[in-house]
Amino acid sequence: MDTLTIGERTLKLEQGDITRYAVDAIVNAANSTLLGGGGVDGAIHRAGGHAIFNECLAIVGRRGPLPAGQAVKTTGGRMPAKNVIHTVGPVWHGGKRDEASTLASCYRESLRVAEQYGLKTVAFPSISTGAFGYPVAEAAAVALGTVAEFLRSEAVTVREVTFVLYDAATFGAYADALEALV
């Protein structure tokens, strides 16, 4: 299963490169400095160019590093996506530091930012499952459960959420989690 319809809203899973998606916003699994890094964060900064970096620099200059579980928006720069919503996921410590609630907050706060700006289509990567070490199967359950609940109860403008998963193993874990959710 790779699609779930929730009322008039859609939650989808796709395998691909999030930097190539033409949606209202893609979500960046950022670090707290917002200034790029490895994985999806580095890919988004490279694809989007200096406009993203400059806006991130200004945001951090105004408010300091972005804490885990929060989200902010910048331009999409040179990417097909018009906007980037940056969120900082939790580093995995064996589940002993409330990682699941912080991860859920990443998804919920990113969607709240999308709502704030009237965005209809949002694409997420698998947050925290790369360098931050969150186990993919556990992260997928938190991510999909949180997004499905948001689409059921809070979404007004967001109509479609796509999880863009970079490799087959991650896609498979998310497909299993979506099947379990239904």
Write the pLDDT tens digit of every residue in 137-177: 999 999 999 999 999 999 899 999 999 999 999 999 999 99
92 confidence band (pLDDT: 50, 70, 90): very high
Question: Could you read off the pLDDT of 72-90 as tens digits, one per residue?
Answer: 999 999 999 999 999 999 9
20 confidence band (pLDDT: 50, 70, 90): very high
Q: Rounded to whole angstroms, how far apart are CA atoms 8 and 37?
A: 36
Cα 162 from chain centre? 10
Give pLDDT, residue 108.
Answer: 98
Tokens of 32: 């707290």
Give pLDDT, residue 114.
Answer: 98
| Of 122, 45, 144, residue with least CA distance to 136 | 144
Strands 71-75 and 121-124: unpaired
Q: Which residues contact 71 (CB under 8 A, 6 or more apart)?
A: 27, 85, 86, 87, 106, 109, 110, 112, 113
User: Domain of 89?
Assistant: 3-181
Give pLDDT, residue 3.
Answer: 93
Q: Rounded to whole angstroms, how far apart are CA atoms 126 and 115?
A: 20
CA distance readout (Å), 114 to 40, 49, 54, 139: 19, 21, 21, 21
Question: Could you read off the pLDDT of 128-148 as tens digits, one per residue?
Answer: 999 899 999 999 999 999 999
Q: Rounded to whole angstroms, how far apart are CA atoms 108 and 172?
A: 23
Sheet of strand 9-15: strand arrangement: 3-6, 9-15, 160-165, 121-124, 25-30, 83-88, 71-75
User: Greater confidence, 181 or 140?
Assistant: 140
Q: How many domains does the chain have?
A: 1
Give pLDDT, residue 119.
Answer: 98
Question: Could you read off the pLDDT of 45-65 as tens digits, one per residue?
Answer: 999 999 999 999 999 999 999
Residues tagged active-site: 41
Q: What is the CATH number of the domain that holds 43?
A: 3.40.220.10
